[in-house]
Chains A and B, each alone.
Chain A
Amino acid sequence: MTKRSHISLSVNGDEYETLCEPDQSLVDVLRNELELTGTKEGCSTGDCGACSIRLDGDLVCSCLVLAVEAEGKEIETIEGMAPKSDELHPLQRHFLEINGLQCGICTPGILIAAKALLEKNSDPTETEIRFWLAGNLCRCTGYDKIIRSVQAAAEEMRKG
């Protein structure tokens, strides 16, 4: 029996403690130990971006992070994106209004990635958005509505 490690981590500002296997991925612990199932696991190889999260502010694939590495770190997932229980983030709202999603599996990862982009660059070009989101695969939308949703949210956020 492999010895499990005890980890303490902050997710969306809430402190959590849990046990994990030494080779368990962070996405697995988020979903199956902490029951934060908003983050999706697609390919498990860092290609699809569905499991995108922020790790101490860095945009990463949580399938490529060991849960034990998260000890003492601050994690941001889709569950922490809406500012209030009855108010969505502008990105979430515009994805709904413009239909930037169909099945929704890729959406949490895309929203997390898009938020990271807009914090860095409040007025990205279409090309910049497409390159930034190259690590987030969507097999439903054909991407056009995703790009337009990000542009609409960026415009609203610039106006403050």
Chain B
Amino acid sequence: MDDVRYEAPESPDAAISLLAEAGSSARVFAGGTDVMVQIHAELIDPGVIVDIKKVPGIMDISESDGAYTFGAATPGMVLMAHEGLSSTWPGIIDGVALIGSIQVKGRASIGGNVCNGSPAADSTPTMIAANAVCNIVGPNGERTAPVEDIVTGPGKTSLVDGEFILSFSLPKRPAHSGDAYLRLTPRTEMDIAVVGAGVNITLDDDGTCTAARISLGAVAPTPLLVAEAADALIGTKVDDAALTKMGEACSAACNPISDKRGTKEYRIKTAAVIARRAVEIALERAREN
């Protein structure tokens, strides 16, 4: 291995300079649960490891008038322990809770989960469904982007050299809203999704669905936002017919590979089932508030 440096900048600008200067040989480092594995397996050989955890705000959770913002490097266990975030966005917490072990969640963050670019990342579909926005900083200043615009392929993101996600913002929750994430895995813990489904819905006072977002993981090179599946629910009472149509739209959107966890056909079929069950959980939660 060539010389490697470790830097822990204490401001966004210092981090941006280090990242921009080193270009593709720089590696953003937060919880380290992917980067350390990649270094160990010699999949990457970074020239500079830029630990962003000392950048102000990157580990903080805040709320303003019902809208939450949390730092991109906030560890999963911290997010799960946050009462306000957990009760407002239980579906995001469903996703976070499934990332690795307690030890891994003690360090792993949603920013890392998104930027590692795995199609099967558990928090990404639920963040997409939640309409989460990434607050990105970089050499050209600040910008925002929806989470669905970040992952462009397995291990690839739309972030340019020098950019990193500082925080995520979640919109204020209307009444009668619920979200959920479910995944299919052969084991109950410590496994990678065969199919994952993130769902976020809002109902009116009569129980008619007024807004929905449905995102699938592990069924395409990137997590998917399936507008047709959401459209199948909007304007309905989320009855059996709507759920069936929603499931069919999910299956139609899938473009999976066959691997040791499941065949292409299995993923396409079960995407409908997992999405339906996730909608049912989100529906129950939406009716409770």
Residues of A within 8 A of B (CB): 1-3, 5, 21-23, 25, 44-47, 49, 52, 55, 58-61, 63-66, 68-69, 113, 116, 131-132, 134-136
Q: Which residues of B contact A61 (CB under 8 A)?
A: 33, 101, 103-104, 107
- Closest residue to A71 on the B side, CB-wise? B8
Q: Is B266 an interface residue (CB 8 A)?
A: no
Tell me, rounded to whole Å, the shortest Cβ–Cβ distance linking B176 to chain A.
Answer: 31
Which residues 19-72 of B have a CB within 8 angstroms of A? 29, 31-33, 36-37, 39-41, 46, 49, 51, 53
Which A residue sits closest to B41, measured CB to CB? A45
Least Cβ–Cβ distance between B12 and chain A, in angstroms: 19
Contacts of B145 in A (CB 8 A): none
- In order of increasing CB-CB distance, the 8 nearest A-B pairs are A135-B101, A134-B189, A22-B6, A58-B106, A64-B36, A60-B106, A61-B103, A45-B37
In the complex, which residues of chain A have a beta carbon less than 8 angstroms from the beta carbon of B53? Answer: 69
Give complex CA distance A53, B247 in Å. Answer: 44
B94 to chain A, nearest CB (A): 14
Question: Interface size bucket, B side?
Answer: 20 to 34
Q: Are A46 and B77 in contact (CB under 8 A)?
A: no
Contact at A46–B49, with CB atoms within 8 Å? no
A60 touches B103 (CB 8 A): yes
Q: Would A23 and B6 be within 8 Å (CB), given that A49-B101, A60-B103 are in contact?
A: yes
Q: Is the interface of A mostly helix, strand, loop or mixed?
A: mixed
Which residues of B lie under 8 Å from residue A23 when comparing CB positions? Answer: 1, 4, 6, 39, 46, 49
Output the residue of A23, A55, A69, A113 with the most chain B CB within 10 A. A23
Q: Tally of A-B residue pairs with Cβ under 8 A?
A: 92
Q: Which of chain B's residues has its CB closest to A20's CB? A: B6
Task: Kindly identify which residue among B1, B8, B190 contacts A47, using a CB–CB cutoff of 8 Å.
Answer: B190
CB pair B102–A46 under 8 Å, yes or no, is: no
Q: Please name the residue on chain B nearest to A47 by beta carbon.
A: B190
For the complex, give the distance between the alpha carbons of A134 and B98 in Å. Answer: 11
Contact pick for A69, options B51, B100, B190, CB 8 Å: B51
Whether A66 and B6, one on each chain, are in contact in the complex, defined by CB atoms closer than 8 angstroms, is: yes
Q: Are A22 and B190 in contact (CB under 8 A)?
A: no
Inter-chain contact B103/A49, CB cutoff 8 Å: yes
| Cα–Cα distance between A116 and B37 once the two chains are bound (Å) | 24
When A23-B6, A46-B103 are in contact, do A65 and B32 touch as well, CB less than 8 Å? yes
**A to B CB contacts below 8 Å, 28 in the list:** A2-B4, A5-B6, A22-B5, A22-B49, A23-B39, A23-B46, A23-B49, A25-B40, A45-B36, A46-B100, A49-B101, A49-B103, A58-B75, A58-B107, A59-B102, A60-B107, A61-B107, A63-B36, A63-B40, A64-B32, A64-B104, A65-B32, A66-B32, A66-B49, A68-B6, A113-B103, A135-B102, A135-B103
